[in-house]
Structure 1
Amino acid sequence: MEFRIERGALADAVAWAARVLPTRSPVPVLGGLLLEAADGRLAVSGLDYEASARIEVAATAVRPGRVLVMGRRLLDVCRVLPEGPVECAVEGSRFTVTGGGAGFGLSVLPLDDYPSLPPLPDVLGSVDAQEFAAAVADVTVAAGRDDTLPTLTGIRLGLDGDRMTLAATDRYRFAVRTLGWKPGTAGVSADVVVAARRLSEIARSFGGAGSVRLALDGGSAGFEREGMRTTVRLLDGRLPRHDKLFALADPVTAVTDREPLVEAVKRVSVVADNNSPLQFAFGPDSVLLQAGYEDDVASQRLPAVLAGTDGMTVAFNPAYLMDALASFDSPVVRFQLMGPGQRAMVTGHADHGDALAGTSGVTAQPAHQHLLMSVKPLVY
């Protein structure tokens, strides 16, 4: 086996495929990347028991062939190679990489022990890559981190006609994002759970311009685009439906500018120990943020508009609140409040008028919604 390729193309391909390699594995060959050169192309593949990745890039195949090398070591080599053309070849029991006067020799792994990559499931349709990446990022912050509850570490991927729903919850917050997609046939529907960490990596890797083809079967999800293909095993179980949780009866509505609120939350939270509550005291035309208790305290007042009552005081876990606010990029945020210790809905809007227009319940729900559980405020 021997091929020539530009250093940048090799480094990008190796980095993309190496995303799925396990950190530790009792099976040494699963730490390897499979390189296949033929017909003017280089294919780089990697897999573990949960995911697989394969990417094809242009290369000059001098001698077609296959080789399996330790993926992370090859990635380290690619990072330090000088810019310019690179020559790679199998020489005996070594895989050599040379370019710009630098040379490396890597030991090869036994090809016979390497399992076959899982096939791509049936393609159901396609979605805009950039919008999909943004939507996954919006909900990932609410996914659980407790591996003893594996289903809650996932993102619900629901398909219903030409609408896609992404949702995640860790029982204390619930984020939902809807977006359009292009089904391949009429009547496509699905409701599966994909590991949030895996789906986030996949979405970011496909996050440029263009579209991503989505494939599903009973046990895995696949994503494909322009010579790039990846699969991931589905999680067992189902996430709870959000419909009833998100139906708030006669909430109090508060509206404020997002960026000043983010800065105020960061500022006031410096005295909040161990995620102690961050209190919001809403009045008719302002909100007072307060944190800390007894020795160290902080506060800041911001302009706000309140509808539905003369005043309400609620409190939030500051880390959860910052995650929610950071997932929006709109100028204005709206809080729909049920009261202390109850549900609170956060949504983003273009301006105050748009945010307040939704209080009647007649307008369509925003595509991105983030539900938080408020906590009991402290007595100052």
Structure 2
Amino acid sequence: MQFTVNQTTITKPLQLLCSVVDRRSALPILTHIRLQISQGQLTMTTTDMELEMIGQLKVTAEQEGDITVPARKLLDICRALPAGAEIHFTLSKEKALLRAGRSRFNLATLPSDSFPASEGMQYRHQLSIAQSELKGLLDQTSFAMASEDVRHYLNGLLLEKKATKLHAIATDGHRLAHSDITLSDADTDDYRILLPRKTINELSRLLENDDSPVAISANQQQVMIALPDNQLQLTSKLIDGEFPDYQRVIPVNGDKIVIIERETLRQALSRVAILSHDRHRSLRIQLSEHLLTATVVNQEQESAEEEIIIDYASQPLEIAFNNAYLLDLLSAMPDNEVQLTFSDGNSSVLITPAVAQPTRQYVVMPIRL
């Protein structure tokens, strides 16, 4: 096995691929990256048994082959070499030799036949979507995913295809985020895929804000996501579990409505959060005629208060929330104005864009005053 590749060309995809590698894995093969040379193309694969990432590069190939080398060490070497250096890779006697200028590195190898692979799966559902649209869905909802919750089905994000709509939903049991888009070219099947948190985080990092297409293929066990030109491909196992019926969580009978500039509210809540120290980041909101008052009182009896003039003429209301939950969703929303819909001091608030048919919905449960 022998090939030559430019340092600049290989370093960026290596960085992306190595994010999957678990340094603490008890299986040495999972700390390695698989390198395959075939028909002048280098295929690089990393996996943690749950998530697999594949990248492909055109290289100058002198001899085809298939081997694995330590992923992080290979990345560190490529990073440390001068920009634009030509890296010559040669496999000899179970060692990988890397040469660049006057630099020489010998790396240990493991046979590629012991490397886990997800090849051979059949996918029932296919979907094509612009990178920017998928990135928008994930960015606007993924913050609400749970982390290491015993209810494992909450440690991820639900993608639901219904008719011509693609919905993204995440919840940690205290808040819920929902966003949807209309698909221009959708098949007739309706289906759901529950993606793990790590997969969502990796995908959000990889996606660009452009209209190039992303191909999504899924079955009941896993999903494969191919980025434009097939340069990067993610294959992930799905979470096995029943995601909550999110439609039942969304309030429908709220009669106290506040429309406010999103950035004005976000900045006000950010300022009062300076004095919020308790675990729940408790924030008290009071609604009165034409006025919204946000108050924080910490354990040292220090306090912060912000008043915002609003168009509100309903009954007075007092309610408390985890301020971090409100700030998360206000930071994720791209809208200029938002609508807050309340029922009473003990019921969840519904926050949406201030438009007639919002495509984003956020629900936050209150906490005790």
Question: TM-score with structure 2 length normalisation?
Answer: 0.92
Between the aligned partners of 1:182 and 1:47, the Cα distance in structure 2 is 33
Assess if the C-alpha contact under 8 Å between 1:125 and 1:181 holds in 2: no
> 5 Å matches for 1:226-375?
226-227=229-230, 228-274=232-278, 275-292=280-297, 295-306=301-312, 309-348=314-353, 355=354, 363-364=356-357, 366-375=358-367
3-state DSSP class of the match of 1:243? helix
Residue 127 of structure 2 is matched in structure 1 by: 125
Which stretch of structure 1 is more off in the superposition, 115-124 or 170-179? 115-124
Residue 116 of structure 2 is matched in structure 1 by: 115
Superposed displacement of residue 25, structure 1: 2.0
From 175, 179, 192, give the equivalent of 1:173: 175
Question: TM-score with structure 1 length normalisation?
Answer: 0.89
Assess if the C-alpha contact under 8 Å between 1:176 and 1:370 holds in 2: yes
Between the aligned partners of 2:101 and 2:319, the Cα distance in structure 1 is 62
3-state DSSP class of the match of 1:127? strand
Give the direction of change, closer, same or farther, for the CA distance of 1:298–1:95 in structure 2 (3 Å limit): same
From 140, 147, 152, give the equivalent of 2:154: 152
Look up the equivalent residue of 1:53 and give its one-letter code. Answer: M
Superposed displacement of residue 235, structure 1: 0.6
3-state DSSP class of the match of 2:199? helix
Residue 215 of structure 1 is matched in structure 2 by: 217
Superposed displacement of residue 119, structure 1: 3.7
- 1:71-91 deviation line (CA, Å, top 9, x unaligned): 122122222221112222223
Superposed displacement of residue 249, structure 1: 0.7
3-state DSSP class of the match of 2:312? strand
> Kindly, what percent of the aligned residue pairs are identical?
21
Between the aligned partners of 1:4 and 1:256, the Cα distance in structure 2 is 58
Q: Provide the aligned C-alpha RMSD in A.
A: 1.9
Between the aligned partners of 1:199 and 1:183, the Cα distance in structure 2 is 23
- 1:85-136 deviation line (CA, Å, top 9, x unaligned): 2222223232222335433221112333223333454251201112101211
Residue 70 of structure 2 is matched in structure 1 by: 70
Residue 164 of structure 1 is matched in structure 2 by: 166
Assess if the C-alpha contact under 8 Å between 2:251 and 2:349 holds in 1: no
Unaligned ranges ≥5, structure 1: 349-354
Give the direction of change, closer, same or farther, for the CA distance of 1:316–1:100 in structure 2 (3 Å limit): farther
Superposed displacement of residue 18, structure 1: 2.1
**Equivalent residues, number:** 362
Superposed displacement of residue 237, structure 1: 1.1
Residue 104 of structure 2 is matched in structure 1 by: 103
Between the aligned partners of 2:164 and 2:174, the Cα distance in structure 1 is 30
Give the direction of change, closer, same or farther, for the CA distance of 1:118–1:18 in structure 2 (3 Å limit): farther
Between the aligned partners of 1:306 and 1:94, the Cα distance in structure 2 is 73
Unaligned ranges ≥5, structure 2: none
- 1:254-287 deviation line (CA, Å, top 9, x unaligned): 1211222222112111222213421111233221
Superposed displacement of residue 334, structure 1: 1.4
Between the aligned partners of 1:288 and 1:330, the Cα distance in structure 2 is 22
Which stretch of structure 1 is more off in the superposition, 325-334 or 286-295? 286-295
Superposed displacement of residue 197, structure 1: 2.5
Assess if the C-alpha contact under 8 Å between 1:336 and 1:346 holds in 2: yes
Residue 351 of structure 1 is matched in structure 2 by: none
Between the aligned partners of 1:109 and 1:324, the Cα distance in structure 2 is 46
